[in-house]
Amino acid sequence: MVETSSSIFFFGDGKADGNSSMRDLLGGKGAGLAEMSNAGIPVPPGITITTDTCAEFFKNNNNLPDNLKLEMQSALIRIGKIVGTEFGSATNPLLLSVRSGARVSMPGMMDTVLNLGLNDETVQGLADISKDPRFAYDSYRRFVAMFGDVVLGVRRKTDEDEDPFEHLLNEKKKKYRVELDTELDVSALKELVSEYKALIFDSLGVTFPDDPWLQLWAAISAVFLSWHSDRAKIYRKLNNFSDSWGTAVNVQSMVFGNLGDNCATGVCFTRDPSNGLKGLVGEYLINAQGEDVVAGVRTPQKILKKHRTDSEDSSLEESMPKSLEELLAVSDKLEHHFGDMQDIEFTIQQNKLWILQTRNAKRTGLAMVKIAVDLVEENFISKEEALKRIDPEQINELLHPIFKSYKNVVPIAQGLAASPGAAVGKVVFTAADASIAAKNGKNVILVRDETSPEDIEGMTTAVGILTARGGTTSHAAVVARGMGKPCITGCKELKIDYKKKIFTINTGSDALVIMEGDVISIDGTTGLVLLGALETEDAVFPDEYEKLLSWANAVRTINVRSNADTPEDARRAREFGAEGIGLCRTEHMFFGESRILAFREMICAETKDDRLMALNKILPIQRDDFIGIFRAMNGLPVTIRLLDPPLHEFLPNSDNEIKELAETIGKDVNFVISKVDSLREINPMLGHRGVRLAVTSPEIYEIQVRAIIEAACQLKKENISVLPEIMIPLIGLEEEIQMLSETVHNIAKIVMNENNVKIDYLVGTMIELPRACIIADKIAHYVDFFSFGTNDLTQTTFGLSRDDSSRFLPDYINKGIFNTDPFVEIDQPGVGALVEIGIKNGRSVKKDLKIGICGEHGGNPPSIKFCYDAGMNYVSCSPFRVPIALFAAAQASL
């Protein structure tokens, strides 16, 4: 009998008949096992039954070819010898796993059968060797159930039914009045095995096969037949895979770490996943099964001596020095083989090391950066490969504090992860209270139904923000991300009572009441809200970060700018690597104490003169705002968006503020109230905002442009390089941009003449309405740049309010209608198509039109890839997402 026959391919013991190039014949899993074995990795030995054999099986009316059976018999002898066991032996049985493996991965096509080979005789052998009859009979009853279900097809009748094997197990636990499976003793398990077998007979009229060979043929046949199961057929159809490929079958020896004190089991990493330091770390247990290591019943021991403390049990290094040596050698090989840090499961059976599984290891952001750089410097991988391996989102962990551990803490609620990071503070319910508490040196979490622009100051002083409503692009989310502050939005379980200054979670007997001043912890990375103060860990950049960033910047071809409304934000963004400001919103500037009153005066003015008088009070303040930002961005472009939100957002709501405003403008309170009423809108998103404000009250934009150009002139005189890009929002009509670009140029000319200074400024527009995309060629005539405002474009293209969508988006995600939130990742078939139309139309008129994006998508890696592919010049995102965007942009270029 030759092992390289047409039916089966052997692997194990540092050799293999096949190799990784034989995927079509051996399937993906079989080829991988052969490859590992060839590389000298001690995988438990086994054989792969080829896909050709599968075809023969079907041709042969679903009968296994005779030669296969013969070949299997001699293969199992060889395997048994390697492991030191014998298939069907009553004293030292070889047990097998049987798994399918097609040339492509087809998840869920067939379950695995483990411990094949057990029967009333062999189970006794297992009990003897392991000296653990309970383990042996538990393995046996599990095998019978698995075989009955997967191979024979004893299933529940309707979706509502309990699994029939599960049902018997539960009855048994009831009978013995125990809670856990592990509390059942050997005799109970023996009863179960009998009952399982009876169930199989009653259901199918067939006897459970005690003969291990019959078990094996049945299992192999069942794997072949699963190729034509309904779910496999549907899966292939969806993925355009051919029905003719067939599947291979992998039959592999089981190995056990619980057969005595010369046995062990463990998990290890080739580097430290928490900080990326080179060298093995891991844990193991002597005489144990794999699940014991993670179950926490016994305390796992360290693998290396240097990792353990004096009070801990001995390390693998001490207890099984030879096995450790083998493990170190194998780990090294695996890292080389896969070119990345590995997460390895191993078992030692009677002093022999077996590798059960290895995979690229999950790691912290810190470790990700360090390992990527180390692997390049160790000549494992190229710089490009290192950059491709970075998960840009994980860079977040370098920027924000995290909670050290969630151990023993149950979250009280979960909302949307709106801005990453961990925060601990006392609950307050108003922006004003937040400011007062902060002045008294208290850390506070601001809890609101939702926030509005007038809460900005309170948000600045809070350490974290939690809202009951709103999505991940709601006001709170956007502002918090801009500030790099942890924020959770859309936490629907929260019911806030502002009057009582409490919030409640749940109702009835489960109700939990949190009062003002109570301490909570919020995790903006996961959306979890926790009671009490969790310990946080500060964020640090590893030393390797700058090197990795420099590699990224070397391959990156799309610019990364930042959204920033203040000099502080601008400075921070620049430190993070931003190459300009892509969006400076001017509306936040109007909410400061010194100006909101003047701005409200402007809104209430009834004549142009009164409006101008009020605006003139704002002019010098606004000019100083721009001076600060321009100074911080010396030499880099700054895109300033003229006023965008509807005026009602600026009007007062509280009685006091209304009274103050009425006194300031010399009108009675009713006048102000009726003004507030008259400006209210049914759909403010689609209302009187953006350029529409400038059409009805041209003075607002005129004063803003004056402030921008005056600031630029003043700084130019100080030899600071200023590159203002003036951006007009919400353009939908050619006539709007025609009128407004003219206004901007006129004012700029006047101011430059007054100062006798020439400023190189640009005029551009937001493209944030479907109509603007459609007529972008008309708009392009009047502007130097486009900036796609994909937040609003997503809202209008979908007809979807981001403030209201939290009510039904969860259902959309659950039912698979949306795979991702379109406010997080740009919707390429819809919104993306309109963006592409806009770019094509715009560039058809101006070949070199500068084009960027300044919505929230500008910091989302898949969206950045889209922007790159669409031919944009830059993306702009909030300061704390600049590092993420830099790496995502580099990846887009690769």
- Per CB under 8 A, contacts with a second copy among 737-776 are 739, 768-771, 774-775
**Tokens describing residue 775:** 């007529």
Closest by alpha carbon to 875, among 797, 802, 790? 790
Stretch binding a second copy (CB under 8 A), from 143-151, 330-338, 568-576, 731-739 = 731-739
The residue (of 569 and 644) whose beta carbon lies closer to a second copy is 644
Among 158, 594, 683, 756, binds a second copy (CB under 8 A): 683
Q: How many residues bind a second copy (CB under 8 A)?
A: 49
Residues 655 and 594: their CA atoms lie apart, in Å, by 19
Longest dimension (CA), the chain: 106
Stretch binding a second copy (CB under 8 A), from 191-199, 719-727, 730-738, 852-860 = 730-738
The residue (of 172 and 469) whose beta carbon lies closer to a second copy is 469
**List 400, 475, 648, 857, catalytic entry:** 475
Nearest distance, CB of residue 160 and a second copy, angstroms: 14
**Tokens describing residue 724:** 């203002």
Question: To the nearest 5 percent, what fractions of the chain are helix, strand and coil?
Answer: 50, 15, 35
The residue (of 508 and 816) whose beta carbon lies closer to a second copy is 816
Residue 836's Cβ-side half-sphere holds a number of Cα atoms within 13 Å equal to 12
Nearest distance, CB of residue 483 and a second copy, angstroms: 23
**Tokens describing residue 337:** 């083989």
Nearest distance, CB of residue 515 and a second copy, angstroms: 21
Residues 811 and 460: their CA atoms lie apart, in Å, by 33
Q: Does 733 bind a second copy (CB under 8 A)?
A: yes
Nearest distance, CB of residue 795 and a second copy, angstroms: 6
Nearest distance, CB of residue 772 and a second copy, angstroms: 9
The residue (of 764 and 832) whose beta carbon lies closer to a second copy is 832
Nearest distance, CB of residue 699 and a second copy, angstroms: 13
In the shown chain, the binding pattern of residues 687 to 726 toward a second copy, with x for contact by CB under 8 A and - for none, equals: xx---x--xx------------------------------
The residue (of 296 and 829) whose beta carbon lies closer to a second copy is 829
Stretch binding a second copy (CB under 8 A), from 152-160, 387-395, 601-609, 685-693 = 685-693
The residue (of 445 and 730) whose beta carbon lies closer to a second copy is 730
Nearest distance, CB of residue 450 and a second copy, angstroms: 9
Please count the helices (runs of H) and the strands (runs of E) in the chain: 34, 32
Residues 384 and 781: their CA atoms lie apart, in Å, by 40
Give phi and psi for 564, each to the nearest 5.
-155, 135
Long-range contacts of 755-761 (CB under 8 A, 24+ apart): 755/710, 755/713, 755/714, 755/717, 757/712, 757/713, 757/716, 757/717, 759/709, 759/712, 759/713, 759/716, 759/722, 759/724, 760/723, 761/708, 761/709, 761/712, 761/723, 761/724, 761/725, 761/726
Residues 702 and 697: their CA atoms lie apart, in Å, by 9
- Indicate the DSSP class of residue 831: I
**Tokens describing residue 11:** 């692997």
Q: Does 839 bind a second copy (CB under 8 A)?
A: no
Q: Does 455 bind a second copy (CB under 8 A)?
A: no
Residue 167 bears catalytic tag: no
Q: What is the DSSP string of 523-566?
A: ETTTTEEEES---EE-----TTHHHHHHHHHHH--SEEEEE-SS
Task: State the first-to-last Cα distance of the chain, in angstroms, to the nearest integer.
Answer: 50
Dihedral angle sign, alpha carbons of residues 730, 735, 737, 741: negative
Nearest distance, CB of residue 737 and a second copy, angstroms: 10
**Tokens describing residue 257:** 């770490």
Question: Are the C-beta atoms of residues 564 and 573 closer than 8 Å to each other?
Answer: yes
Nearest distance, CB of residue 29 and a second copy, angstroms: 32
In 666-784, which ranges are continuous DSSP H helix?
669-679, 691-696, 698-717, 734-755, 770-774, 776-780
Among 484, 827, 881, 884, binds a second copy (CB under 8 A): 827
Nearest distance, CB of residue 678 and a second copy, angstroms: 9
Nearest distance, CB of residue 494 and a second copy, angstroms: 12
In 378-422, which ranges are continuous DSSP H helix?
383-389, 396-399
- Per CB under 8 A, contacts with a second copy among 321-380 are none
Q: 546: exposed, middle or buried (C-beta count within 10 Å: 0-12, 13-18, 19+)?
A: exposed
Give phi and psi for 278, each to the nearest 5.
-70, 150
The amino acid present at 285, given as its one-letter code, is L
Q: List the beta bridge partners of residue 268.
A: 282, 344
Nearest distance, CB of residue 861 and a second copy, angstroms: 23
The alpha carbons of the chain give a radius of gyration, in whole angstroms, of 34
The residue (of 344 and 831) whose beta carbon lies closer to a second copy is 831
The residue (of 32 and 732) whose beta carbon lies closer to a second copy is 732
- Per CB under 8 A, contacts with a second copy among 634-663 are none
* Residue pointed to by tokens 């934000």: 569
The residue (of 338 and 818) whose beta carbon lies closer to a second copy is 818
Q: How do strand 487-489 and strand 416-419 relate by DSSP bridges?
A: antiparallel
Q: How do strand 46-49 and strand 8-12 relate by DSSP bridges?
A: antiparallel
Residues 429 and 424: their CA atoms lie apart, in Å, by 15
Residue 475 bears catalytic tag: yes
Q: 658: exposed, middle or buried (C-beta count within 10 Å: 0-12, 13-18, 19+)?
A: buried
Q: 572: exposed, middle or buried (C-beta count within 10 Å: 0-12, 13-18, 19+)?
A: buried
Nearest distance, CB of residue 831 and a second copy, angstroms: 7
Among 104, 204, 512, 833, binds a second copy (CB under 8 A): 833
Among 684, 720, 745, 825, binds a second copy (CB under 8 A): 684
**List 487, 854, 867, 877, catalytic entry:** 854
Residues 367 and 343: their CA atoms lie apart, in Å, by 14
The residue (of 486 and 490) whose beta carbon lies closer to a second copy is 490
- Per CB under 8 A, contacts with a second copy among 796-825 are 796-801, 803-805, 807-808, 811-812, 815-818
Residues 91 and 127: their CA atoms lie apart, in Å, by 9
The residue (of 19 and 452) whose beta carbon lies closer to a second copy is 452
The residue (of 65 and 770) whose beta carbon lies closer to a second copy is 770
Residues 779 and 549: their CA atoms lie apart, in Å, by 37
Among 736, 741, 858, 867, binds a second copy (CB under 8 A): 736
The residue (of 55 and 733) whose beta carbon lies closer to a second copy is 733
Residues near a second copy (CB under 8 A): 681-688, 692, 695-696, 730, 732-733, 735-736, 739, 768-771, 774-775, 778, 792, 795-801, 803-805, 807-808, 811-812, 815-818, 827, 829-831, 833-834
Instruction: Give catalytic residues, as residue numbers.
Output: 475, 854
